[in-house]
Amino acid sequence: MIRMPSSLGSSRHRRRLLAALATVSVAALLLTGCVSWFRAPAPTASTSKPTGEKVAADLRPFYSQVLTWSSCSSGFQCTTAKAPMNWKDPSQATIELALIRKPATGTRLGSLLVNPGGPGASGYDFIRDNLDYAVDSTLRAGYDIVGFDPRGVGRSTAVDCGGAAVLDHFNYDIVPGTPGTDSWIAGTEQVNARFGQDCLDHTGPLLQYVDTNSAARDLDLLRAVLGDRRLNYLGYSYGTLLGASYAELYPKKTGRLVLDGALDPATTDFMVTDTQAKGFESAFRAYLANCIGSSACPFTGTVDEAMTQTGQLLDQLQAGPLSNPDGRRLGANTMFVAIILPLYSKDNWTYLDKLFEEVRKGVTTTAFLLADSYNDRDSNGVYSSNSTEAFVAINCLDYASDSSIGTMRAQAAQLGKDAPVFGPRMAWGGTSCAKWPFPATRVRGPISAEGSSDILVVGTTNDPATPYVWAKSLAKELQHGHLVTYHGEGHTAYNKSNSCVNSAVDDYLLNGTVPSKDPEC
């Protein structure tokens, strides 16, 4: 399963890439010169009054807490909420959940909680750094826009696997040999097992409780302490699974939920990978069709010939990695990550031109800039988030996968048929969590959320990361799901200059009006 870049591969990543690929020197400055927006907040009198609803006795201390908001940056307010680490035993220990909000500029309807995806992306950073990208001015007028870091993520009580050196080994080391051989599988499982043990050693008991259902229970707690009787929510990418999970657990407490770039909760780990492989291969073919024939294109011939050349290049990098000046080596996996990131948005396709042009000359600069951006790593080796650690920890609890060699080889063969170039590079997912410290706890299946309010599901027809078929499936599974289709490229659709999608989402969130039929934007 491909990890969604933090903030959806959104404006933060686009700004990074636009600058990074203009000149290397400017890129190095931007990637290392992180600006800290957080200052010691000055206490204010702003508080949120909890709803005061009846809950079990052991949950009352959490649901009755009063949030005190402090000024943090450019009109934002910040606070921290307490939640049970283990919802089945609230007395066991507590964790912290970090929140940030931008108060409504007009007549306030309530709070709108926003999740940017991942899993592992920081909703706090997303709202602070990308408010205009997250929601349009219409929604900012009607709602307090609230970003939060889910359990295990960012400024909340977070998963920690040991720091930059551990992450560099996990993200960039190359397991020798041919993928699929017994020795390669054993070596890959050993790398993943070591990473899991590092995560347990540094995170402790929390590592067992960062699953999506626990995060959905946190979401209900946040709703209540913000003072909202019903949840109003905008979830992107993985955030759609979190929102759907909430609706399944608390259907009567759903207000207005928008799920953009939907995941299908009924899909297995392998089917997620297979569908994503086909989605990314389709997006890459669309890039090639747009590229071939232009003066800057590094490919000639047909799209099929260019696909073959790409597969051959990845095979060459697996057998003979290129050296980077900082000592890291560019192997097939890191190159694949570098290819993946620009495919999240058509605006970034031209960066693939430079990537392939350089690598063919033995130059690794752009490849590592792209891979590092994907991994939230700057050129000094500093990771700006724990997105990789949280992604692995959450998914290993959410997805049960078969790690038997026979099954993985059969799945690899299927991936090779369905997506001949990208599929083999996304195979062997069963090695990821085979020796994770804790077993998966989520039971995969359709979510109907019987008795919920209307829920809006947005899908993009050529979304490589969360393919359109998932949005169609989720909208059908939900008892009160309504599909909004965007015919276009890229990951997610709302607030991307499409007035049809924006109108449908805004009308729903502000007025509760759902389209009478799919508007087919």
Residue 517, judged by CB atoms within 10 A of its CB (0-12, 13-18, 19+), counts as exposed
CA 177 to CA 418: how far, in whole Å? 24
List the catalytic residue out of 6, 463, 480, 506. Answer: 463
**Which residues make beta-bridge pairs with 42?**
71
Q: Which of 181, 204, 167, 113 is nearest to 3 (CA)?
A: 167
3-state secondary structure at position 275: helix
Q: Which of 146, 58, 112, 73 is nearest to 256 (CA)?
A: 112
List the catalytic residue out of 10, 237, 245, 373. Answer: 237
List the catalytic residue out of 125, 452, 491, 506. Answer: 491
Mark whether 169 is an active-site residue.
Answer: no
Number of C-beta neighbours around residue 520 at 10 A: 12
For residue 38 the two structure tokens come to: 């957080």
- Could you list the beta-strand ranges (E) of 103-211: 110-115, 143-148
For residue 504 the two structure tokens come to: 């449908």
- CB 395, CB 441: distance < 8 Å: no
Residue 469, judged by CB atoms within 10 A of its CB (0-12, 13-18, 19+), counts as middle
Q: Phi first, then psi: what are they for 112, rounded to 5°? A: -120, 110
Q: Which of 181, 182, 184 is nearest to 173 (CA)?
A: 184
Q: Quote the DSSP letter at residue 327.
A: S
Query: Which position has the token pair 């909680």?
Result: 113
Mark whether 448 is an active-site residue.
Answer: no
Mark whether 403 is an active-site residue.
Answer: no
- CB 269, CB 400: distance < 8 Å: yes
Residue 252, judged by CB atoms within 10 A of its CB (0-12, 13-18, 19+), counts as exposed
CA 377 to CA 164: how far, in whole Å? 9
Q: How far is CA 11 from the centre of its chain?
A: 14
Pairing of strands 143-148, 231-236: unpaired
Residue 443, judged by CB atoms within 10 A of its CB (0-12, 13-18, 19+), counts as exposed
Cα 461 to Cα 291, 454, 491, distances in angstroms = 21, 22, 10
| Active-site residue set | 237, 463, 491
